Amino acid sequence: MAPDAIATADFHPAPHRKRVRLLALIFPILAPSFAWSAHLVVNFALSSHACYPDGVPLRSPASGLGWLWSLLLIIDLAGIIIGLVSALIAWRTYRLTAQEMAETGPPLAEIGEGRTRFLALWGVLIGVGFSAATFFDFVGLWVLPLC
């Protein structure tokens, strides 16, 4: 049980933290979730307002709102792009820090060691995940009637 050595320097759980900027870690974690939330709420509000302006639901958007479908499409695309760009940024960060604490053995997904690469991997998964979630709505626009 006796340890072979006592670390003298301050031990740090994220030795590669200085290779990347904090923003490059945090942005891919936060931006896709905000983009997804915003797209959901805005799409919901716009489509509801256009299709149900009064006591009776309409079969197509209220007059003068024909451009609505395109707007929803653009919002969805923006969400998807934000997600993918975040994933790319995070992937780049991950590449820079992939070997952080690699001496601990098991792969990152298992053990989570190396705080910088851990957050970078999260960024990749979050970016891809929210893009996929937004993509469902994108598909919905093509296959479902708007109202």
139 within 8 A of 43, measured Cβ to Cβ: no
Angstrom distances, CA of residue 46 to CA of 97, 118, 119: 42, 38, 35
147 within 8 A of 51, measured Cβ to Cβ: yes
18 part of the interface to other proteins, by CB under 8 A? no
By CB under 8 A, the residues from 50 to 79 that bind other proteins are 50-55, 57, 72
CA within 13 Å, CB half, 147:
18
Q: Quote the least distance from Cβ 85 to other proteins, whole Å.
A: 19
144 part of the interface to other proteins, by CB under 8 A? yes
Q: Which one, 81 or 140, has the nearer CB to other proteins?
A: 140
Q: Which one, 75 or 89, has the nearer CB to other proteins?
A: 75
Radius of gyration over alpha carbons of the chain, in Å?
Answer: 22
For residues 22 to 41, the per-residue mask of contacts with other proteins, x marking binding by CB under 8 A and - elsewhere, is -----------x--xx--x-
50 within 8 A of 62, measured Cβ to Cβ: yes
Nearby residues of 134 by Cβ (< 8 Å), 6 or more positions away: 35, 36, 39, 76, 79, 80, 83
Among 86, 90, 113, 131, the residue binding other proteins under the rule CB under 8 A is 113
Q: Can you give the binding site for other proteins, defined by CB under 8 A?
A: 1, 3-14, 17, 33, 36-37, 40, 43-45, 47-55, 57, 72, 101, 103-106, 108-115, 118-119, 121-122, 125-126, 129, 132-133, 136-137, 140-141, 144-147
